[in-house]
């Protein structure tokens, strides 16, 4: 997923916080927005010679990490949020860990995410009321994603007779690669974040490779399906690889809750330390008229690479005589991207 895709979503600190605030002021419901870190993504096929991280944006690529690859992506975040409607503010602080594992087939990835948050809560009117801190696990999700369709592009580097054909835009790049995600929100959470029951989560994951450096990711997400806190979201992330080590991203996200909507924009940068380690930093702010919120994030992604490709050997008649596994070898740009070519 990014120097690929990181950052964080806006969150609901719900029933526990609402009960405290309702003792001080009459209100129907209060949604205090919290942001956590999740991921920005740069370019990838399935397995790549360098780490394919979900950080620091929120959106996910339809591509997985590759078979026999274990990847751990984590980070810390700090933010501030103020609401003009409720005169409430919260200062979220915490961390998130996202574990990814490829097994059985290149197109399939299993993953799990856990987020821990601590929030200092205040209600501000004529007098400032300190509501104290709430803390605990705010998210615990397990799931899997599968690549349904991978777009393939012609290798124009071999076109030597026509400069125009060699440099022309491939219209296939307008058609994205497509993946699907299905997961479950577990309810082993802190008191302030606990839901009445476990709930499913599903997403459609799209990726357009407009060039070998410029990628557009689009996610359509349904979260906490079947609960009062169900959320429908979109995330659109544009990523650009400056060179083989540095990449940047910009992101827009909208979350549609039952009682309100949230919109955020984010930006960040990732640095490829080596083929198995990536560092990142990011910032995100909301764009709601009656609220102000921002979150700063720092993180890293590391992988244990045990991936091997099968090499098929054939005799002079084309018959398979032996199949053995070998480590993949990549070219210069395979550090950033890896696409199957016709």
pLDDT at residue number 325: 53
Lowest mean pLDDT of 70-74, 152-156, 234-238, 304-308, name the range. 152-156
Confidence check: pLDDT of 291 > 50: yes
Percentage of residues in the chain with pLDDT exceeding 90? 46
Residue 147's SS3 state is strand
CA dihedral 42, 302, 112, 227 (to 10 degrees): -50
pLDDT at residue number 312: 58
Range among 186-190, 257-261, 336-340 with highest mean pLDDT value: 186-190
pLDDT at residue number 321: 61
DSSP string spanning 178-203? Answer: EEEEEEEE-----TTT--SS-EEEEE
Threshold 0.85, pTM exceeds: no
In angstroms, the CA 171 to CA 268 distance is 29
Residues 6+ apart with CB under 8 A from 26: none
List Cβ<8 Å contacts ≥24 apart for 194-200: 194/15, 194/16, 195/224, 195/227, 195/229, 196/227, 196/228, 197/227, 199/223, 199/224, 199/225, 199/226, 199/227, 199/230, 200/225, 200/226
Confidence check: pLDDT of 79 > 50: yes
Cβ–Cβ contacts within 10 Å for residue 296, how many? 16
Contact 128, 30 (CB under 8 A): no
25-42 mean pLDDT: 35
268: pLDDT confidence band, cut at 50, 70 and 90?
A: very high
Cβ–Cβ contacts within 10 Å for residue 147, how many? 22
pLDDT at residue number 91: 82
DSSP string spanning 250-314? Answer: EEEEEEE-SS-EEEEEEEEEEEEEETTEEEEEEEEEE--TTEEEEEEEEEEEEEEE---EEEEEE
At the fourth CATH level, the homologous superfamily of domain 5-335 is monomeric porin ompg (2.40.160.40)
- Which of 292, 296, 299, 298 minimizes the C-alpha distance to 79? 296
Find residue 110's DSSP bridge partners: 101, 144
CA 85 vs. chain centroid, Å, equals 30
In angstroms, the CA 298 to CA 134 distance is 22
Q: Phi and psi of 179, rounded to 5°?
A: -135, 165
């Amino acid at each position: 997923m990014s120097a690929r895709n990181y950052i964080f979503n806006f969150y609901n600190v719900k029933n526990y916080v609402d009960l405290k605030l309702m003792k001080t002021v009459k209100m129907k419901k209060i949604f205090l927005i919290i942001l956590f870190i999740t991921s920005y993504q740069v370019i990838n096929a399935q397995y790549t010679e360098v780490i394919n991280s979900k950080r620091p944006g929120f959106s996910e690529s339809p591509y997985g990490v590759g078979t026999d690859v274990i990847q751990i992506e984590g980070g810390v975040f700090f933010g501030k949020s103020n609401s003009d409607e409720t005169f409430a503010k919260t200062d979220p602080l915490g961390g998130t860990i996202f574990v990814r594992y490829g097994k059985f087939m290149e197109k399939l990835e299993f993953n799990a995410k856990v987020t821990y948050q601590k929030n200092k809560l205040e209600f501000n009117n004529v007098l400032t009321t300190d509501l104290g801190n709430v803390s605990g696990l705010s998210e615990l999700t397990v799931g899997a994603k599968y690549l349904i369709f991978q777009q393939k592009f012609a290798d124009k580097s071999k076109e030597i007779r026509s400069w125009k054909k060699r440099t022309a835009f491939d219209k296939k790049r307008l058609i994205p690669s497509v993946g699907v995600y299905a997961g479950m929100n577990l309810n082993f959470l802190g008191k302030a974040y606990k839901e009445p029951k476990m709930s499913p989560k599903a997403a459609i994951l799209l990726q357009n490779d407009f060039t070998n450096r410029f990628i557009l990711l689009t996610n359509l997400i349904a979260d906490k399906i079947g609960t009062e806190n169900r959320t429908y979201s979109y995330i659109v992330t544009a990523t650009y690889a400056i060179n083989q080590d540095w990449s940047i991203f910009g992101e827009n996200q909208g979350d549609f809750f039952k009682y309100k909507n949230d919109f955020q924009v984010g930006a960040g940068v990732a640095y490829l330390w080596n083929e198995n380690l990536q560092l990142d930093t990011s910032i995100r702010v909301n764009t709601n008229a009656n609220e102000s919120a921002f979150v700063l994030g720092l993180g890293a992604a590391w992988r244990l690479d045990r991936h091997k490709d099968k090499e098929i050997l054939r005799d002079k008649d084309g018959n398979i005589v032996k199949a053995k596994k070998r480590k993949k070898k990549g070219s210069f740009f395979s550090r950033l991207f890896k696409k199957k070519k016709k």
